[in-house]
Amino acid sequence: MTTDFQLRAALEAILTVAETPLNLVTLAGALEVPLNDVKRELEALREDYDSANEGVGRGFELREVGGGYRLYVRPNHDWAVKQLVANENPAKLSQAALETLAVIAYRQPISRGQVSSIRGVNVDSVVRTLLSRGLITELFVDAETGAAMFGTTELLLEVLGINSLDELPQISPYLPGQDDID
């Protein structure tokens, strides 16, 4: 029989090595315990992390993102991690890729041609880059036009640290022509 503390420690061990958010079913299956027990212990871990160090919290926190749970650096400790990786050169997205990604995120499902129309430039290579990085995916092919329709992936939610696209900031309703683009 697994005690609450053993289950909590096992969850913590799994979350420490997880590269992606893990959902309740995955965690419960891995540990062969009921979902309610996993959920209760995840909440206990979150409370423990948030209340540690006289209420300041630990250097990391447990977040529910992308349909699962994962450990993240607490925002007020980002500076320490940035110091560590300052000498590394992580691959960043270009301005064109960020703009294209934003159009897809807000307007999905959307075709390559529609994105090009909105941005006013050819986006073929940028879309290939976003596809290769796993930030967007081909959702379906439009039956009328034969155009591939694109949308964002769970990886994008994870990278942004959000659960759904509903958490993105609202686009101003005053942007010219936003309802005329099809």
Q: What one-character-per-residue DSSP string does 11-60 give?
A: HHHHHHH-SS-B-HHHHHHHHT--HHHHHHHHHHHHHHHHHTTTTT--SE
- Which amino acid is residue 88, in one-letter code? E
**What stretches in the chain show pLDDT beneath 70?**
1-2, 85-91, 172-182
Neighbours of 92 (CB within 10 A): 8
Strands (DSSP E) along the chain, which ranges? Answer: 60-65, 68-73, 110-111, 136-141, 148-152
Rounded Cα–Cα distance for residues 161 and 51 (Å): 21
pLDDT of residue 182: 47
pLDDT value at position 173?
60
Strand 110-111 to strand 60-65: parallel, antiparallel, or no bridges (unpaired)? unpaired
